[in-house]
Amino acid sequence: MSLPRVVVDGPLAPNILRLLEGQVEIHLWPALDAGLEHVQGLYTYGHPRVDAELIARLPELRVISNFGVGVDHIDLAAATRRGIPVGNTPDILNGATADMAMALLLAAGRRLVEGDRYARGPTFVHYDPGYMLGREIHHSTLGIVGLGRIGTEVARRAVGFDMTILYHNRHRRPEIEAVLPVRYASLAELLAEADYIVLTVPLTPETRGLIGRAEFAQMKPTATLINVARGPVVDTEALTEALLRRRIYAAAVDVTDPEPLPRDHPLLRLENFTVTPHLGSATEQTRQRMAELSVANLMAGLRGEPLPCRVA
């Protein structure tokens, strides 16, 4: 019996390959055009875009499985119209991604990456109490834009740093307010009050460009922006301008627009800009759990069974 044909959007990590071995026939995107009509599964982690046109080219497609929680690269409506279930991997990566948000926040506030560079460099010859002063983290005000699964974990961590915590969502979350010291705020109020602004919203038409020139203008000059959501939630040009002109103190981001930034992008030359290459969920333990859940989603869809975790 032939194995179901699955297209994957790039080379797979060995742990994912082990889970798929002997169960499916794997084709790397861009797949052999000749075989596209027999593809039954699509396993994706962000590129290429799974749009209506691509879905239309796969008449036998039974399931789309995403390695990750963000599904902004998948046209969910087009999949739904065809009755194709889409799986993702929420919750199991909340802790790792929230840890990353805190790591970036701490790094930016205390100039960790810049300090590392200096400590390794030739100009560090003696300690000086006047250099590299950062901004306090404990007892400062944190603003979480997107208090969902990951945002709530960020809030839980911030409690340990004695931070005052504001949040902004489209809907207030009384059940979280009941267990965590978080206060609902309008976006304008949050931007004006927060020392650290953490973005944990999904990328949607509504959140694309959510933080642009007007929003930077509302922030304190001492504010730091942390983005662990998706690059296009922030207007890159406005961010560059805000950092270059010291309109805000710093930014630390795990995601950019475009991603990666062109190697000669001005942001990459700024000391008050810290960037990581989309490492939010990148721990051995979390990536293993994501591999297991995304493969379980894929295999369930191929068998015509309900997905363990279905987003659409």
Check residue 146 and give left, alpha or beta (phi > 0: left; psi -120 to 50: alpha): left
Site string for ligand NAP, 243-282 (x = CB under 6 A): -----------xx----------------------x-xx-
- What are the phi and psi torsion angles at 10 (to 5°)? 175, 175
Which residues carry out catalysis? 230, 259, 278
Residue with tokens 């998706």: 230
Stretch that binds ligand NAP, among 52-60, 124-132, 169-177, 213-221 (CB under 6 A): 169-177
Note whether 110 and 118 are within 8 A (CB): no
Q: Is 150 in the site for ligand NAP (CB under 6 A)?
A: yes
Note whether 312 and 79 are within 8 A (CB): yes
CA count, 13 A, side-chain hemisphere, 267: 25
Site string for ligand NAP, 107-146 (x = CB under 6 A): ---------------------------------------x
Q: Which helix (H) or strand (E) holds 50?
A: none
Residue at shortest CB range from ligand NAP: 148
Give me the sign of the Cα torsion angle 293, 296, 300, 306. negative
CB 308, min distance to ligand NAP, A: 16
115/202 with CB nearer ligand NAP:
202
Among 29, 52, 78, 90, binds ligand NAP (CB under 6 A): 90
Q: Is 65 in the site for ligand NAP (CB under 6 A)?
A: no
90/308 with CB nearer ligand NAP:
90
Among 58, 69, 155, 261, binds ligand NAP (CB under 6 A): 69
Residues in the chain: 312
How many amino acids of this chain bind ligand NAP (CB under 6 A)?
30
Give the residue from 106, 123, 204, 119 showing the smallest Cα distance to 157.
Answer: 106
**Footprint of ligand NAP on residues 187-246 (CB under 6 A)?**
200-204, 206-207, 228-230
> Chain-centre distance of CA 177, in angstroms?
24
Pairing type for strands 86-87 and 63-66 reads parallel
Pairing type for strands 273-275 and 250-253 reads parallel
Q: Is 185 in the site for ligand NAP (CB under 6 A)?
A: no
Residues that bind ligand NAP (CB under 6 A): 69-70, 90, 93, 97, 146-151, 168-171, 200-204, 206-207, 228-230, 254-255, 278, 280-281
